[in-house]
Amino acid sequence: MSSALTGRLAAEEPGRSRRLVDLIFRAREFGIIAVLAIFVGVTTAIQPRFLDDQNIKFVLLNTTIFALLALGETMVVVTRNIDLSVGSLLGLSAFLSSEVLSEHRGIPVVVAFLVGLGIGAGWGILHGLIVAVAKVPSLVVTLATLYIIRGIDVVIAGGTEVVANSLPSSFLGMSTASFAGVPVLAVVVACVVGAGAFYLRSFRSGRELYAIGSNPEGARLAGIPSGRRVFTAFVVSGSIAGVAGVLWASYYGTIDSTAGTNYELQVVAAVVVGGVAIFGGSGSAIGAAFGALLLATIDQALYVLGISSFWDQAISGLLIVLAIALDRGISVRLTSALRKRSLRHAA
């Protein structure tokens, strides 16, 4: 084999490896869609009213909040970190943003979004500094702030709540507006998730998040500003959680200090089930959104079938275990396949 041909094969190898990885994890996402379709088919056969317009709309609206949170969580998880504070951040943002609208009649709804965005970004900056600069494990940091933020929410809210009739109709109408039977909010969030997925795959700074998660030391040696990228991922995750809190308040109308309780577990489940490897380095925001849709569908199906909500949590836990085991198996086999391919071409 000539030296020119050998050099060309060596240059093409990284691209081929990348395409192989993308193909495998794209198949992982299609697998989620297949499972979702089978689940919907079986549930509909048992209870035909599962596909009623109202049920479909409820599933889509319930998915939007989790899909939005999953977008921010995906950016953190692909860097081999985790953000467990998203549920508490959503709750604090939901209460404070709706309280502003309730107590100051006539102010623009956009102010509520600015409040939510400010709350989320502020905590995201704090998380990013502690994790990226102080090098404290993200699991420890965000587990601590999960309880701190929830405690702040309880102190501020006390035993009070913001009720729907104290909020502007334009604010409440955001979550009920629909076009051709499809909630407008679901369409908007789908576009946001699509834009996020495009950024992660097409922009250099987005691809660097995957590089950091795949091989932190290798990313550092390659000159990738790992600290800055991880910091940005936490700021984005927090900001998204803050905005999601405003949307949550618009959807539910009545808000107290329990808003968003245990949402962080649902979000992590959606991300992992959606194909984002908990070990970092792979997965997509679209897959995480499909994971959120699958979990929301399961939740509504159990309700329609009259099955205890306990099984929803049990199924979510089982799916997480299966997803992590599957990702680990894929990772091991993929590493072995790529190593053999490299040795074959080197020969």
Would you state the structure tokens that stand for residue 220, as one six-digit string? 């550092």
Question: What is the pLDDT at residue 12?
Answer: 42
Q: Which of 82, 68, 89 is nearest to 234 (CA)?
A: 82
Give pLDDT tens digits for 75-95: 999 999 999 999 999 999 999
Please indicate whether residue 210 or residue 277 has the higher confidence score (pLDDT). 210
The amino acid sitting at 335 is T
Would you state the structure tokens that stand for residue 68, as one six-digit string? 């939005």
Distances (CA, A) of 314 to 60, 178, 243, 321, 332: 22, 33, 29, 11, 27
Question: Which residues neighbour 58 within 8 Å (Cβ) at sequence distance 6 or greater?
Answer: 300
Distance CA 127, CA 137 (A): 10
Distance CA 264, CA 69 (A): 9
Residue 272 has pLDDT above 50, yes or no: yes
Give pLDDT tens digits for 37-74: 888 898 899 888 888 888 888 889 889 999 999 999 99
Would you state the structure tokens that stand for residue 55, as one six-digit string? 């049920």
Q: Is the Cα dihedral 37, 39, 42, 48 positive or negative?
A: negative
Residue 197 has pLDDT above 90, yes or no: yes
Distances (CA, A) of 119 to 29, 32, 37, 241: 33, 34, 38, 9
Question: What is the pLDDT at residue 242?
Answer: 97
Residue 213 has pLDDT above 70, yes or no: yes
Give pLDDT tens digits for 319-343: 777 777 766 666 666 566 556 665 6
CA of residue 252 relative to chain centroid, distance: 20
Contact 95, 256 (CB under 8 A): yes
Residue 8 has pLDDT above 70, yes or no: no
Question: Mind giving me the DSSP string for 137-148?
Answer: -HHHHHHHHHHH
Question: What is the pLDDT at residue 2?
Answer: 39
Percent of the chain with pLDDT strictly greater than 70: 85
Query: Which contiguous run of DSSP H or E holds residue 179?
Result: strand 178-179
Q: What average pLDDT does range 241-259 have in this prediction?
A: 94
Give pLDDT tens digits for 112-132: 999 999 999 999 999 999 999
Fill in the DSSP letter of residue 162.
Answer: B
Question: What is the pLDDT at residue 35?
Answer: 81
Mean pLDDT of the chain: 85
Question: Which residues neighbour 114 within 8 Å (Cβ) at sequence distance 6 or greater?
Answer: none
CA of residue 49 relative to chain centroid, distance: 29
Q: What average pLDDT does range 3-29 have in this prediction?
A: 49
Domains of the chain: 3-346 (1.10.3470)
Question: What is the pLDDT at residue 340?
Answer: 65
